[in-house]
Chain A
Amino acid sequence: EPEVTQTPSHQVTQMGQEVILRCVPISNHLYFYWYRQILGQKVEFLVSFYNNEISEKSEIFDDQFSVERPDGSNFTLKIRSTKLEDSAMYFCATSPRQGPHEQYFGPGTRLTVT
């Protein structure tokens, strides 16, 4: 069964550093998402992406965050200057279509900011 993959599985970085989290979507999926989950808290939506554009974003997704699909396969989330409160699990999800369709989540990247 096709899967969403994410790299790295764990990233440790110092406050103020830039990090790039990578996701390889399921092929033929057109809609891409990033979510995060701070330890012990609920899963929070960050951003959705379709046709090389952000289609929706949450209040969390401020100027420190950006997304892109640099090579037609990877889907990346960049945090420009990490803060301690950015420490969380970051999940990529993909969907073949818009609307109330199943989103397939990757295994996540655990980001630890020290």
Chain B
Amino acid sequence: LAKTTQPISMDSYEGQEVNITCSHNNIATNDYITWYQQFPSQGPRFIIQGYKTKVTNEVASLFIPADRKSSTLSLPRVSLSDTAVYYCLVRNQAGTALIFGKGTTLSMSS
């Protein structure tokens, strides 16, 4: 599986748009890009998944350029409750296990 690299931490303010970029230079043709969120003392929670271009749901948007070597999770108008660790994962079509990295800790100021 392709290794992912993302910033260890990010700071933001309430109401701002937050963009977290993940690099996955060795992504394979059959791989998907998935993002999970984890609040303290809770299990990870699925946010969004995509293969190429742009995916949007009620929580976030995921931007994937044509070469797919990186992806950006965009959280619109964050609030204090968005304080969490955000994980970028690469999964293939047959994938079962989720392989987590250290993630990006998003901290918020009011």
Q: Which residues of the other chain, A, contact B101 by a CB distance below 8 angstroms?
A: 42
How distant is the Cα of A101 from the Cα of B51 in the complex, in angstroms?
12
Known contacts A100-B49, A100-B93; A89 and B41 CB within 8 A of each other: yes
**CB-nearest residue of chain A to B45:** A105
**CB-nearest residue of chain B to A102:** B46
How distant is the Cα of A43 from the Cα of B97 in the complex, in angstroms?
11
Interface residue B98 (Cβ < 8 Å from any Cβ of A):
yes
Contact (Cβ within 8 A) B34 A100:
yes
How distant is the Cα of A106 from the Cα of B38 in the complex, in angstroms?
12
Known contacts A42-B102, A100-B49, A102-B49; A93 and B43 CB within 8 A of each other: yes
Contact (Cβ within 8 A) A100 B103:
no
Binding site for A on B (CB under 8 A): 32, 34, 38, 41-46, 49, 87, 91-103
- Tell me the count of chain A residues lying within 8 A, CB to CB, of chain B: 25
Binding site for B on A (CB under 8 A): 4, 31, 33, 35, 42-45, 48, 55-56, 58, 89, 91, 93, 98-100, 102-108
Known contacts A42-B101, A100-B49, A102-B49; A31 and B41 CB within 8 A of each other: no
Q: Which residues of the other chain, B, contact A93 by a CB distance below 8 angstroms?
A: 43, 98
Interface of chain A, helix or strand or loop or mixed?
strand
**CB-nearest residue of chain A to B49:** A100
Could you say which of A89, A91, A105 has the most chain B C-beta atoms within 10 Å of its C-beta?
A105
Q: Which residues of the other chain, B, contact A56 by a CB distance below 8 angstroms?
A: 96-97
A-B contact pairs, 12 of them (CB 8 A): A4-B43, A33-B96, A43-B87, A45-B97, A45-B99, A45-B100, A48-B97, A55-B96, A56-B97, A91-B44, A100-B34, A108-B43
Contact (Cβ within 8 A) A31 B43:
no
Contact (Cβ within 8 A) B93 A99:
yes
Q: Which 10 A-B pairs have the closest CB atoms?
A: A105-B43, A45-B97, A43-B100, A102-B46, A100-B91, A100-B32, A48-B96, A91-B43, A42-B100, A56-B96
